[in-house]
A and B are shown apart, each in its own frame.
Chain A
Amino acid sequence: MSWPPALPILSVLVWTPAAGALLSAFPGGDRAALRRKVAIGFAALSLILALALALTFDPGAGPRELRRWIPALGLSYDLFVDGFGSILVLWVALLALLALVSVGSRELGRRATCLILLAETALLGLVTASDGALFLAFYGAGLLVLTLLLGRVKEMKTFFFFQSAGATLAVVYVAISYHLTWIQTGFPSAEIARFSSLVSFPDFQGRMFLLGAAVVAFAAPLFPLTSWVSSSTSALATPGRLLLLGGWSLAPTLFFARAVLPSHARSEGALFMMVLAALSLVYAGLAPRRSWAPLLVGCQGLVVLGLLSPTAPTAEGVAAGRAGMLQLALALSTLALWKPDSEDARGPAFTSGIAVAMFLPTSWFVLREQWTTAPASTALAGLGLALMMLRLVRTLPPLSRRRSVLLLPLLGFWILSLLAPSRFLPADTKSPATAEEE
């Protein structure tokens, strides 16, 4: 089913949480319950819209909204979702709703409520934006919102340092691609899909790949650029932690997967990036402290290894890499329900087993793929991964009943992501089932 052209479904979806943020700013300090109801209402509305979008998604006609934003500069307000995008918008909408319901109205102030909804808008915009400038606009907005959500000066400054370094490199990457598009096609454009068709010399491709990789290394982050993670996650309450680990952790890898990899997948810099990713996993396995930094870094290392797998240039490889991104975001969100750096965190629990299980399909895929081409770095990564899993099972405490309830939708979403592999195929690829029917 396709949506009527008169209904800008993607804009409605993206901007609904922002409208909710505006409205939830009105109820004063003593009307926290009303504020929470308004915020949850808007988050639920955007979840319903995302659900409708995902359920009615037609692989041949993904909804697209293309308006001229700055025609003189060739920049467009271009929103589009493919199968993967339809899953991601559903995930972001679910995550924001979970963040709002994860704490009571007294724990969630006016500012945090508004910022959570604004972060949802920024993340939905990131997932749907097809124009490089628009993508960066949402990226910058999301970065600022998450910075403000931290609330402490020192943590804000540290987080902003690493994230804005990544954002600056992303701006440079898009600006260079914009210039190349202008030179090679005769008209300016920052459409991300065009970047892959640009012609350039191999050494230039290598530099551009490293530029894109640096975005991930700073913002994802990869080892050794990790110093912001523990302080940031400690400063955040559960809602902010959910958004940071489950939502924002997707942003840099999404940029990498959408803007960098299609153009420079077979670059020489890929080997360097793979080694960095393997080292990130080793760091995750060997880090002595119970902290978020090794976990996040390990997960991002695994995601990068998945995206750079030998089969990545093929449709199935892309789909597997994308599935890995989402499943690790889910696993991180599950872990975000626990309190980090807790000194009384002891003993294995059934729920921690679930969190670890979420890592397994992606880990298996990544290690199997990498083994054929780079056995040494794969062995290193596998060792790190095994140690990380072991540490997770040993240190995570049992969840409270309320938190366990929150775990259920995450688990459901994870199973859904395993059952719908065709949704992760690139937009111009037919699912194997459809191809067989023909």
Chain B
Amino acid sequence: MRIVAFGSAILPLLAAWILSSRAGASRWARGMVGGIDALALLLTALLWNAGLGADLFSSFLGVCVLGALTFAALTPEPDIESLCRLHLGASLSIVAVSTRELLWSVPAVLLFGLLVRQTRERLVLFLVPGFAALAGLALVSGADSEGIGLILLAAGLSTSWLVVSREVMRSSTSGLVTRMAASFTLLAALSSVHLRIAAWFPETAPLGTIHALGLGALALGALGALGATRITTFLTALALGRGGLVLVAHLGGVQGRAPSLMALAASGASLLLLAAALDKTDTVDDVSNLGSVPRRLVLTLGALSAPSFPPFPGFVAAFPLSSALVEQGYSFSLLAVAVLLFLLALGSMRVVARAWASGRTREVETGVGLAALGLAIAATLALSIAPARFVEIARAAALAIF
């Protein structure tokens, strides 16, 4: 456990404590929480090569997690308990992305899953892969059946992420941004475990399992986005689709690590922007009522960066990612990914087209909020218009996996 985990993981816990106190719902408490999250984000970003034990890989993922957390904290959220749970989960995610021990990271990811309010039936669906992952961890630790253990571990963790992601998005009490931030922070933690496993066990890494789960999630996401009528279903589908893409990117070997990190960061920006733009809409048809132009622009940016559509954020990662996949012999998978991303783009366009259809009476004039506008501008600049620095950081972070 390194120092980055302590600093960045404890501050969200402090924020969660403030939120759980009696004054948690007051304006000053929300301001404090936003400030604490921003401070944690800043500290993690400043730990870059600070000689304090933090590596770039952990810092990169830590910044992704804390960025999502800060964004959620700065967005109006009526359900304080959900925000509190998100902070606890983010704290666990920071532990998972920072540690070099599977004995810490795997339980941290599974504990995060337990924080989500689930129905009894869903809890069983989560616990089964969760126990599979723990069994895999035991096998890997025993070093007797490393191959099978890694397969169980990868499959268990990925399946529990699929279950939790779906369940967290279905929650009706909290706002869309909080839900999406929870889904994304869990994805970041899962990615760190997968990438580390691939780096630590190059010979026995369960690439076939990751391959099948990644393509499966992407296919589920694409088909879900095409058929969704409710906004939560639509967002769940896009989250699954992006998660699938990130999983498939893990197949690219050493060359694929950097595009994988780029895809992860772009996913975070895209999904959070989309959630912010679609907040307080219930069905896909409700999008036709959105009147605010900035809100519709943010929606377009988020929706079209989800399938990495050019020139939106995430598009430039397509080139090194394709190259890495072809290099590793996954040419046909690359074609499948292209087809599924095309379907995801069609699903996204269903919503964008409604948002911009002319001749409609637009009733909802509420804007998208300063936090979302800030993130939209930052994402456009750093991931689309001038992404050189971001790409360099992602490459350096990818080389720092130990």
Q: A365 at the A/B interface (Cβ < 8 Å)?
A: no
**Interface centre among B304, B320, B359, B387, by most A CB within 10 Å?**
B320
Contact between chains at B322 and A178 (CB < 8 Å): yes
Residue of A nearest to B262 (CB): A73
Contact between chains at A70 and B310 (CB < 8 Å): no
Query: Which residues on B sit within 8 Å (CB–CB) of A164?
Result: 309, 342, 345-346, 349
A152 to B300, CA, bound (A): 16
Contact between chains at B315 and A73 (CB < 8 Å): no
B310-322 vs A, Cβ < 8 Å mask (1 yes, 0 no): 1110011011101
Q: Which of A68, A69, A152, A175 contacts B322 (CB 8 A)?
A: A175
Q: B128 at the A/B interface (Cβ < 8 Å)?
A: no
Q: Provided the pairs A69-B388, A161-B346 are in contact, do residues A147 and B353 lie with their beta carbons within 8 angstroms? A: yes
A160 to B351, CA, bound (A): 12
Contact between chains at B354 and A153 (CB < 8 Å): yes
Contact between chains at B346 and A188 (CB < 8 Å): no
Min CB distance A205 to B, Å, is: 16
A136 to B319, CA, bound (A): 12
A182 to B320, CA, bound (A): 10
Query: Which residues on B sit within 8 Å (CB–CB) of A148?
Result: 356
A28 to B338, CA, bound (A): 42
Q: B335 at the A/B interface (Cβ < 8 Å)?
A: yes
Min CB distance B313 to A, Å, is: 12
Q: B110 at the A/B interface (Cβ < 8 Å)?
A: no
Q: A8 at the A/B interface (Cβ < 8 Å)?
A: no
Min CB distance A318 to B, Å, is: 27
Query: Which residues on A sit within 8 Å (CB–CB) of B318?
Result: 171, 175
Contact between chains at A156 and B323 (CB < 8 Å): no
Contact between chains at B323 and A188 (CB < 8 Å): yes
Q: B391 at the A/B interface (Cβ < 8 Å)?
A: yes
Residue of A nearest to B360 (CB): A153
Q: Provided the pairs A72-B395, A137-B310, A179-B322 are in contact, do residues A168 and B342 lie with their beta carbons within 8 angstroms? A: yes
A176 to B331, CA, bound (A): 10
Q: Which of B311, B316, B326, B327 contacts A141 (CB 8 A)?
A: B311
Q: B341 at the A/B interface (Cβ < 8 Å)?
A: yes
Q: A71 at the A/B interface (Cβ < 8 Å)?
A: yes
Q: B100 at the A/B interface (Cβ < 8 Å)?
A: no
Query: Which residues on B sit within 8 Å (CB–CB) of A152?
Result: 357-359
A397 to B204, CA, bound (A): 73
A165 to B338, CA, bound (A): 10
Contact between chains at A72 and B391 (CB < 8 Å): yes
Q: B211 at the A/B interface (Cβ < 8 Å)?
A: no
**Interface centre among B346, B353, B388, B391, by most A CB within 10 Å?**
B353
Q: B392 at the A/B interface (Cβ < 8 Å)?
A: yes
Residue of A nearest to B258 (CB): A72
Q: B350 at the A/B interface (Cβ < 8 Å)?
A: yes
Residue of A nearest to B339 (CB): A168
Query: Which residues on A sit within 8 Å (CB–CB) of B353?
Result: 147, 153, 156-157, 160
Q: A190 at the A/B interface (Cβ < 8 Å)?
A: yes
Count class of interface residues, chain A: 35 or more
A139 to B311, CA, bound (A): 8
Contact between chains at B338 and A172 (CB < 8 Å): yes
Query: Which residues on B sit within 8 Å (CB–CB) of A69?
Result: 388
Contact between chains at A111 and B358 (CB < 8 Å): yes
Contact between chains at B310 and A182 (CB < 8 Å): no
Q: Which of B335, B357, B391, B392 contacts A151 (CB 8 A)?
A: B357
Min CB distance A156 to B, Å, is: 4
Residue of A nearest to B323 (CB): A179
Q: Provided the pairs A72-B392, A156-B349, A164-B342 are in contact, do residues A176 and B310 lie with their beta carbons within 8 angstroms? A: no
Contact between chains at A165 and B342 (CB < 8 Å): yes
Q: Provided the pairs A147-B349, A147-B353, A164-B349 are in contact, do residues A140 and B311 lie with their beta carbons within 8 angstroms? A: yes
B140-160 vs A, Cβ < 8 Å mask (1 yes, 0 no): 000000000000000000000
Contact between chains at B388 and A188 (CB < 8 Å): no
Query: Which residues on A sit within 8 Å (CB–CB) of B354?
Result: 153
Min CB distance A190 to B, Å, is: 7
Query: Which residues on A sit within 8 Å (CB–CB) of B346?
Result: 157, 160-161, 164
A156 to B327, CA, bound (A): 37
**Interface centre among B310, B345, B349, B350, by most A CB within 10 Å?**
B310
Chain B, 10-57, CB within 8 A of any chain A CB? none
Q: A97 at the A/B interface (Cβ < 8 Å)?
A: no
**Interface centre among A72, A111, A152, by most B CB within 10 Å?**
A72
Residue of A nearest to B322 (CB): A175
Min CB distance B379 to A, Å, is: 15
Contact between chains at B310 and A171 (CB < 8 Å): yes
Q: A167 at the A/B interface (Cβ < 8 Å)?
A: yes
A147 to B300, CA, bound (A): 12
Query: Which residues on A sit within 8 Å (CB–CB) of B334?
Result: 172, 175
Q: A133 at the A/B interface (Cβ < 8 Å)?
A: yes
Q: A144 at the A/B interface (Cβ < 8 Å)?
A: yes
Contact between chains at B338 and A140 (CB < 8 Å): no
Contact between chains at A151 and B350 (CB < 8 Å): no
Chain B, 290-312, CB within 8 A of any chain A CB? 300, 304, 309-312
Q: Which of B304, B322, B349, B387 contacts A176 (CB 8 A)?
A: B322
Contact between chains at B310 and A151 (CB < 8 Å): no
Query: Which residues on B sit within 8 Å (CB–CB) of A137?
Result: 310-311, 315
Q: A75 at the A/B interface (Cβ < 8 Å)?
A: yes
Query: Which residues on B sit within 8 Å (CB–CB) of A73?
Result: 316, 319-320, 391
Q: Provided the pairs A133-B319, A164-B309, A179-B322 are in contact, do residues A171 and B338 lie with their beta carbons within 8 angstroms? A: yes
A171 to B346, CA, bound (A): 16
Contact between chains at A179 and B349 (CB < 8 Å): no
A75-119 vs B, Cβ < 8 Å mask (1 yes, 0 no): 100000000000000000000000000000000000100000000
Q: Which of B316, B322, B339 contacts A75 (CB 8 A)?
A: B316
A147 to B356, CA, bound (A): 10
Query: Which residues on A sit within 8 Å (CB–CB) of B311?
Result: 136-138, 140-141
Min CB distance B304 to A, Å, is: 7
Query: Which residues on B sit within 8 Å (CB–CB) of A165?
Result: 342
A156 to B353, CA, bound (A): 6
Chain A, 156-194, CB within 8 A of any chain B CB? 156-157, 160-161, 164-165, 167-168, 171-172, 174-176, 178-179, 182, 188, 190
Contact between chains at B358 and A68 (CB < 8 Å): no
Query: Which residues on B sit within 8 Å (CB–CB) of A156?
Result: 349, 353, 356-357
Chain B, 115-160, CB within 8 A of any chain A CB? none
Residue of A nearest to B312 (CB): A140
A178 to B322, CA, bound (A): 9
Contact between chains at A179 and B388 (CB < 8 Å): no
Query: Which residues on A sit within 8 Å (CB–CB) of B320?
Result: 73, 188
21 contacts between A and B (CB under 8 A): A72-B392, A75-B316, A136-B310, A139-B310, A141-B310, A144-B309, A147-B349, A156-B353, A156-B357, A157-B346, A157-B349, A157-B353, A160-B353, A164-B349, A168-B345, A171-B338, A176-B322, A178-B319, A179-B326, A179-B327, A182-B323
Q: A-side interface residues toward B, CB under 8 Å?
A: 68-73, 75, 111, 133, 136-141, 144, 147-148, 151-153, 156-157, 160-161, 164-165, 167-168, 171-172, 174-176, 178-179, 182, 188, 190
Extra A-B contacts (11), CB below 8 Å, given A136-B310, A156-B356: A72-B392, A137-B310, A140-B315, A156-B357, A157-B349, A157-B350, A168-B341, A175-B318, A175-B334, A176-B326, A178-B319
The 4 closest A-B pairs by CB, nearest first: A140-B310, A137-B311, A175-B322, A151-B358
